[in-house]
Structure 1
Amino acid sequence: MGQPIPDFGKFLESLRGSMSLREAAKKSGLSHAYIRDLELERNRSTNDRITPSPDTLHKLSTAYGYPYTALMIKAGHLRDGDIAPSRSGFRESFDLVDVRYIEIGLRELVYHCQNSVTAYSIDSLLDFSTFLDKLEEHGFRKMDADLYVNFHQIRCYDEKRGKLYFDEDATGVEITISALRQKKYHALLKRYVANNTHRSLEFSLGKSGTRTSVQIVEDHA
């Protein structure tokens, strides 16, 4: 973890620019009140200081057209040293088995693993297109225009909130998927989670706090 830049809230406000709060809310899927709280760096109801989560930053990154990794660094979730310098040959130089998800930028790919983040430059559009076509062979599925997730790494699927986790306790990094993608991959996600956690495909619905989540019953047979 690093340190957020001074006046990070004002930086978020500058990214929004002339865009209204309601327009930003529509593009990001966040409430306009919450976006304003983030810009003020405090919850206006409780006056508590708030820091956006990686999932929130990803939504703002998409809404504002600002690189997600750079936003994570400015928010203090990552340090410059956490990301390896950009490399070439992204298609063959990295073992995709350990990659949780891939973020696609204009000129580079960013591979996110459990303990590392590595950027690879895009040197050839032809190689890049071929690479994207073959990602599904490695268990990756497109979750957004700039995001591919490795289903082999998913350990928990929160059906109600449309979130994917890479740990069974659902306390670590999370990926939010759209309703359209969730509908498309719902059954597939269940099968992958069952396989990844070595459990059966027998499901029960349970509540954890205020959310309803899919739980997988262990197969002791």
Structure 2
Amino acid sequence: MGRPIPDFGKFLEGLRGSMSLREAAKKSGLSHAYIRDLELERNRSTNDKITPSPDTLKKLSAAYGYSYTELMIKAGHLPGGDTDSQSNGNRLDMDLNHVYFIEIGRKDITYHTEGSNIVHSIDSLLDFSTFLDELEENDFKKMDTDLYVNLNHIRKYDERKGLLFFHEDGTGPRVTISAIRQKKYHDLIARKVAANTEKSLEFSFGKSGNTPTFSAANKHI
């Protein structure tokens, strides 16, 4: 465990910026009162000091478009040394083929691979625009506000929960995709899972009779 940065609550308030508490609550799924308590670093009912849990930080990360890993470090849940940070002003020479997914914050990009997370600063809008083009060329798709997933690494798709897994048995890292993106990429994801796991794709219709669903089945030779 690391140590939280001084005035972490004010840092959270700064991330919220001009967003109202109710808007932040709607985006994060947290109550507006609890978000304000976190910014004040105390429970206003009991006056006890409070620290957000990793699950709460994940929700705030999605709502504010800020790196979850960096938020965990700043809150003291992770020591800074657990993440390789590269902020030297040069573009990161990263082989995107080995990256599972990418989280984009306001000032940095976090690359998630099999064994590590690498944080790199966003140095210019021009670099960032070129970076987005590279993601598209390498088969990354935007699956949430700040989440880009390498579809070539997806091995399992839980349609009901909106979860994507990078291991076929459902262990290890996973990501949650937004309902809008799930609807948009449902067919593509199913096909990618089938290709990545070398399974055939069976097509069927849902109960409504007009909603197509896909499932992967073992190939028969």
- Tell me, in whole angstroms, the C-alpha distance in 1 between the residues paired with 2:66 and 2:127: 25
1:63-88 superposed Cα distances (whole Å, 9 cap, x missing partner): 25654222233567643112112152
Task: List gaps (5 residues or longer) in structure 2.
Answer: 43-51, 206-212
Q: CA RMSD in A?
A: 3.8
1:157-202 superposed Cα distances (whole Å, 9 cap, x missing partner): 1111111111122233221111111111000000111111111112
Match of 2:120 in 1: 120
- Alpha-carbon distance change, 122 to 183 in structure 1, aligned in 2, over 3 angstroms: same
Match of 1:27 in 2: 27
* Contact 1:159-1:214 at 8 Å conserved across structures: no
Match of 1:96 in 2: 96
**TM-score of the superposition, structure 1-length normalised?**
0.70
* Alignment partner of 1:85 is 2:93: no
- Alpha-carbon distance change, 65 to 135 in structure 1, aligned in 2, over 3 angstroms: closer
* Contact 1:158-1:214 at 8 Å conserved across structures: no
Secondary structure (helix, strand or coil) at the match of 2:201 reads coil
User: Where do residues 20-99 of structure 1 align in structure 2 (5 Å cutoff)?
Assistant: 24-28=24-28, 30=29, 32=31, 52-53=54-55, 57-64=57-64, 66-74=66-74, 78-86=78-86, 87=88, 88-90=90-92, 93-99=93-99
- Tell me, in whole angstroms, the C-alpha distance in 1 between the residues paired with 2:203 and 2:102: 29
- Alpha-carbon distance change, 180 to 65 in structure 1, aligned in 2, over 3 angstroms: closer
User: Where do residues 192-211 of structure 1 align in structure 2 (5 Å cutoff)?
Assistant: 192-202=192-202
* Contact 2:3-2:79 at 8 Å conserved across structures: no
- Tell me, in whole angstroms, the C-alpha distance in 1 between the residues paired with 2:135 and 2:199: 26
* Alignment partner of 1:136 is 2:136: yes
Amino acid across the alignment from 2:60: L
* Alignment partner of 1:145 is 2:145: yes
- Alpha-carbon distance change, 11 to 124 in structure 1, aligned in 2, over 3 angstroms: closer
- Alpha-carbon distance change, 190 to 150 in structure 1, aligned in 2, over 3 angstroms: same
Task: List gaps (5 residues or longer) in structure 1.
Answer: 41-49, 206-212
Give 1 or 2 for the bigger CA radius of gyration.
2
- Alpha-carbon distance change, 200 to 57 in structure 1, aligned in 2, over 3 angstroms: farther
- Tell me, in whole angstroms, the C-alpha distance in 2 between the residues paired with 1:98 and 1:180: 26
* Alignment partner of 1:167 is 2:170: no
1:48-70 superposed Cα distances (whole Å, 9 cap, x missing partner): xx9544xx533221325654222
